[in-house]
Amino acid sequence: MAGGVWPWPVKHGIHQRSRVSEAQRLRSGSLVRPTLLHCEPVAPVRHRTCQWPIGEPRDAGFRLCGGASAQGKPYCPSHSAVAYAPAAAPVSTPARKKTMADQRLVSIVDRIVNLEEEKRALGDDVRDVYAEAKSAGYDVKGLRMVVRQRMEDTTQREKRQAAENARDLMLAALGDFATSPLGSAALAAA
C-alpha cells in the first residue's frame, strides 16, 4: 500500500488502519500491529463507513461519524458535501465596487457624526457665552440681533435693509395704531 497505510486484522473480522513503516514490515516478515504510545483506538474503522471526525481527538467523546459512506468516497453524503464543496466563485467586480462604496458610505457617515458632535459642543459654548452676557446685564435678544447682523454677507445685508424699508413704509401707511379705527375702539373700551 502507498504511504505506509495498511489494514490490520482485528478480532471479529473488523479492520483498522494503522501507519507502518516499510522497515517494520520487512523486519517482521508478517503483518505486525505497531504499538502507539498514549493512544487507544477511538472506534473501529469499518469498510464503507464515514470517516468524518466528530469532536476533538483529545476529548473523551471523540469519534468518527460511522454512517454509510457515499460510493467511492470516505465520507457519508452530508460530510462529502462539506469535504468536496466546490471552490467559492470569485467576487465579481460590481460586488467589489459595492463594498468599496459601502466603506466610503461608512466613512462619510462617521465624518458627519463627528461634525455634528463638534457642532453640538460649539452650540453649548455659544449658549454659555450668551448666559455670561445675560449675567453681565446685557439684553440677550438685542445681542443675538447684533451677532446676526455682523455675520451677514453683502447680499444678506441688502435683503435685510430692503425688508426693513418695506416694513417702515407699511407702518407709515397704516399710521399710528391709536389713530386707526381698531386702536380707537380699543382705547374706548378701556
pLDDT digits (tens, 9 = 90+) for 123-148: 999 999 999 999 999 999 999 999 99
Residue 111 pLDDT: 94
Round to whole Å and give the CA distance between 3 and 21.
9
Average confidence (pLDDT) over 70-75: 79
Round to whole Å and give the CA distance between 156 and 25.
100
According to DSSP, residue 12 is labeled G
pLDDT at 163 over 90: yes
- Write b or e for each residue in 8-27: b if 16 or more Cβ atoms lie within 10 A of its Cβ, otherwise e: eeeeeeeeeebebeeeeeee
> Tens of pLDDT along 75-118?
888 887 877 777 766 656 665 666 777 888 889 999 999 999 99
Total residues belonging to the chain: 190
Contact 8, 16 (CB under 8 A): yes
- Confidence band (pLDDT; 50, 70, 90) for 73? confident
Residue 27 pLDDT: 65
Round to whole Å and give the CA distance between 144 and 150.
10
- Confidence band (pLDDT; 50, 70, 90) for 22? low
Round to whole Å and give the CA distance between 180 and 188.
12
Strands (E) in the chain, as ranges, are: 5-9, 15-19, 53-54, 63-64
pTM above 0.75? Answer: no
- Written as nine digits, the cell of 129 is 457665552
Residue 71 pLDDT: 79
**Whole-number average pLDDT of the chain:** 76
> Tens of pLDDT along 82-91?
777 777 666 5
Q: Which residue has the cell 445685508?
A: 157
Contact 20, 6 (CB under 8 A): yes
According to DSSP, residue 183 is labeled H
